[in-house]
Amino acid sequence: PLPSCSISGADYVCDNSPGNIYTAPDNMSAYAWSIGGDGSIPGLTNEQSVSVNAGNLAGNFTLYLTVTGANGCTSTCNKLSDILLATPPADITVSSNPVCFGVTIDLSIAAAATSTVSWSGSGIGNPSGNPSTTALPAATGPQGYSVTVTAGNGCSNTDAVEVSVITCNIDFSGKITWERDDVSGVKDATVNLTGSAAGSEATDLFGEYSISTMVSSGSFTLKPVKNINKFNGVTAGDVTAIQQHVANITPITDPYILVCADVNKSNSVSGLDATLLNQALLGNPVANNLFNTSWRFVPLSWVLSNPPWGFPEQIVFTSITESQTDQDFVGMKIGDVTGDANPANLAPEQPLVLRLDDRSPEAGEIMEVQISAGQKDNLAAFQCALRFDPALLELIDIQPGNTLPLQADNFGIFKVAEGEIRVVWSQPAGIPIAEDAPLFLLRFKSLGAGFKLGEALLLDETELPALAYTDALEESEVEWVYLESTSAGQPANNTGMQLFQNRPNPFSGSTVIGFALPEACEAQLRVYDLSGRLLQEYAGWYPAGRNEVEVDMQGAVPQGVLFYELTSPYGVLTKKMVLTGQ
């Protein structure tokens, strides 16, 4: 009889799938397989079973079989299989290759959510991660990773990739931002690296830093410091804010600002901090030695509690083998409780005008110079520095008036031999100031003749900005006005041309320069660097009275001392200002 011929195997197979097994009856003396359509037989075709590689989706293939029985008789048969099942993708994407030893790599595929995934390789984090997993290679050299993806229809696919793991040096990078807006970078902070390697880097304009090492593993400590420009943003208004906190009038609830208010770093905010700051502004050398920290820093990852004391000021790394990015810090400017680096509240507040009579003293004359204030609705603090010519004037005495509760310790005469007098006064509650109210009296001895007081006694903002504050901590400028003649280049009348100190000063980016004209006229405002190079010029027809010009110096010149000059038919006046980073 003829042998029985039949083929057992799948009616539907996965596209492009290998290893589809088809089987003939056993106990035959010979088998002969062939195939037609979208498929192929990669192996032997003369055994009981055959392996078929399927072709593209939506195709089909037909297997043909001839079997020979023990009696030598033959029979033929065939089987059609449709390629209707989709094979899932399994292509592996690697986050980086090569990769530094100790760095975690990301492995991912484009698998459907219903698929089952199986990863293998050194240091696989999640063997069934879909569509991704991580791996931390355990050794250097080539490391193999593979994945098998099985779809819900039973079709599966595999892929493999080799990752080269190399030895790399450890680098550190990050950013320091200002606590007040969480955006502005803190420039010129020195980030120090100690431990298994040492290094340092000064932050740039954006507060960013990067430190490289020559080691591939170890333990390290990162700590930023910045102790320059400690009076940047520090004014009598900050003293008032601390006094208001101590008196429980306006408690400081922001933990970052509490750190700013802790001037003596005692892990508390008390009247001692207000006194220390007040004396430092007056130029007291002992207070300045105690006020010895300009900025403090806390890791961005650390959430300050209230109270914030005991916070870390560095980041510690133990036994690391990979580079550390995004090692960010938050910077807190010590003493700057009011956030004076933001000048947005300058414009609407009326200035504190200090007036005095000009005169021409005789040699040897003892003269009393009364400093009076213009009307101001609310005054809680003010500060200024006066500069007199010690070759022309000798200070004999300072007498506080009765308008404000001024005392002797509100006056700083630590540099009186150089001609400097500082005045810093503050209290928690604001008071109204009447027009022409006497603030204080200066008694001088004239050491010569032929000069005017307006030439020998001036407002000096070189080191201490002249500022006033309300009890709401609204900031305004202090103006110095002579009631008779003014300094050279200004008309000898009560409405002469005046050039005011820019606000803010020091500044970063832009600042506002104010000036007063006795009559409407054409005027030019020019800005120069120390070499005399013209940087900016503003010209126009300005009305009589006070005018303001916003000067934008963003990117125009490196930071440092600049001069600005006002020119009009009434003369030429010049002042200096300081362009600096945050």
- CATH class of the domain whose range is 12-85: mainly beta
The overall pTM is greater than 0.75: no
pLDDT of residue 494: 40
In terms of DSSP bridges, do strands 315-320 and 208-212 run parallel, antiparallel, or are they unpaired? unpaired
Residue 186 and residue 178 in contact, taking contact as beta carbons nearer than 8 Å:
yes
pLDDT band at 200 (very low <50, low <70, confident <90, very high): very high
- Outline where DSSP puts E strands in 247-308: 295-299
In this predicted structure, which of 25-39, 128-142, 167-181, 448-462 has the lowest mean pLDDT? Answer: 448-462
User: 479 and 515 in contact (C-beta within 8 Å)?
Assistant: no
Tens of pLDDT, residues 76-131: 999 999 998 888 889 999 998 999 888 899 999 987 778 899 999 999 999 999 99
Shared fold status for 171-262+271-333 and 342-485: yes
For residue 487, pLDDT beyond 90: no
**pLDDT exceeds cutoff 50 at 150:** yes
User: Which CATH code for domain 495-582?
Assistant: 2.60.40.1930
pLDDT computed for residue 563 by the predictor:
85
DSSP 307-353: S-TT--SSEEEEEE-S-B----EEEEETT--S-TT-GGGSTTSPPEE
Mean predicted confidence (pLDDT) in 454-467 = 88
Percentage with pLDDT > 70 across the chain: 95
Q: What is the pLDDT of residues 52-82, one digit of tens each?
A: 999 998 899 999 999 999 999 999 999 999 9
| Mean pLDDT for the stretch of residues 173-194 | 93
Residue 260: the pLDDT is 96
Domain 342-485 listed as CATH 2.60.40.680 = yes
SS3 205: coil
Q: What pLDDT is stored for residue 344 in this prediction?
A: 26
What digits encode the pLDDT tens for the residues 262-319? 999 999 999 999 999 999 999 888 888 889 899 999 999 999 999 999 999 999 999 9
Mean pLDDT of all residues in the chain? 89
pLDDT at residue 557 tops 90: no
Q: Is 374 exposed, middle or buried, given 0-12, 13-18 or 19+ CB atoms closer than 10 A?
A: middle
Tell me which CATH homologous superfamily contains domain 93-166. Immunoglobulins (2.60.40.10)
- What pLDDT is stored for residue 556 in this prediction? 66
**Beta-bridge partners for 395:** 444
pLDDT bucket at 345, cuts 50 / 70 / 90: very low
Q: Tens digit of pLDDT for each residue in 389-434? A: 999 999 999 999 989 999 999 999 999 999 999 999 999 999 999 8
- pLDDT score for 455: 84
- Say which residue, 88 or 576, is predicted with more confidence: 88
Instruction: Give the per-residue pLDDT at 482.
Output: 84
Token code pair at residue 527: 């800005």
The candidate with the shortest Cα–Cα distance to 192, out of 61, 357, 84, 329, is 329
Cα separation, 12 vs 35, whole angstroms: 16
- Could you tell me whether strands 545-552 and 315-320 are parallel, antiparallel, or unpaired per DSSP bridges? unpaired
Q: Locate the domains of the chain by residue range.
A: 12-85, 93-166, 171-262+271-333, 342-485, 495-582
At residue 263, what is the residue type?
A: V
> What would the CATH number be for the domain defined by 171-262+271-333?
2.60.40.10
Long-range contacts of 44-53 (CB under 8 A, 24+ apart): 48/23, 48/24, 49/21, 49/22, 49/23, 49/24, 50/21, 50/22, 51/18, 51/19, 51/20, 51/21, 52/9, 52/13, 52/20, 52/21, 52/22, 52/81, 53/16, 53/17, 53/18, 53/19, 53/20
- Residue 493: pLDDT band (50, 70, 90) is very low
pLDDT of residue 499 exceeding 80:
yes
